[in-house]
Amino acid sequence: MNTQMDWSRVRERVIAVEEAERRARGQGPSQDPTFEPVLTPDEIAEVEAQYGVALPDGYRTFLAEVGAGGPGPALKLMSLRRIDGTWGWVWDNDESHPWLLDPSGPFVETEDWADQQIATLRAAGYEPTTHDEDDDYRDDYRKVFGDAGDGIWHLERGRGAIPISDNGCGMTGWLIVVGPHRGELRDRDCAVNPPFEYVDARGNRHTFRTWYLEWLEQRERETR
């Protein structure tokens, strides 16, 4: 195994931090497992075959060695589950609305999002007219696609990426799966059309591994 992708003892370290924090709050051991079960090689291959992609290496090995969901930046990781035969990413155990990766094109960075919307509208035979300072061409999507316009707009915005973490108060972390920045993380606020920001406040581009380990090391320092 590539040692750069070795998650040795990470599961145990996270569990130890979780237990230490519960003790500090005067709570006993949790009755619920800290992590969801790891995925087997066959299950990971099934996910990749369903979407026609190779998951980024750091995330792929995390699923195999640590778990398919559990604690993480900033609150917890999204859970990857098979629901009625289809694999999807789940928020807060809500299996009725899983995120299904759209692998049809690369993830669109914030600075290119308006141009992507224009291209979609023109491909539908419509010349964009309504540019909103906050929502770009969302109103035009409604004109072109009717009741489905909002859904198409939102799904296209997340194309090529998966929501990887619940950051609280509607904020989310995203892992890019398709495109030139495959394997990198982005943060997103809770507004209708917020920008996707680099996870690191210093502007560094995190991979899943560096993002997760930085969070764990910070929690360990705080616990000590």
Query: Up-side HSE of residue 192: CA atoms within 13 Å toward CB?
Result: 11
Name the β-bridge partners of 186. 174, 198
Instruction: Kindly list the distances between the CA atom of residue 140 and the CA atoms of 38, 47, 86, 111, 210, in Å, as whole numbers in the listed order.
Output: 43, 34, 32, 19, 39
What is the topology classification, in CATH, of domain 3-107+158-223? SMI1/KNR4-like (3.40.1580)
Average pLDDT, the chain: 93
Tell me, what DSSP letter sits at residue 202? T
| Sequence spans of domains, the chain | 3-107+158-223
**Mean pLDDT, rounded, for 34-63:** 98
pLDDT band with cut points at 50, 70 and 90 for residue 1: very low
Predicted confidence band at 2 (pLDDT cuts at 50, 70, 90)? very low
- Supply the DSSP symbol for 68: S
pLDDT tens-digit map of 79-133 = 999 999 999 999 989 999 999 999 999 999 999 999 999 999 999 999 998 888 8
Whether this prediction's pTM lies above 0.85 is answered by yes
| Of 72 and 135, the one with more pLDDT | 72
- Does the pLDDT at position 158 exceed 80? yes
Give the integer Cα–Cα distance in Å for 214 and 211: 5
- Could you tell me the pLDDT band of residue 4, with boundaries at 50, 70 and 90? low
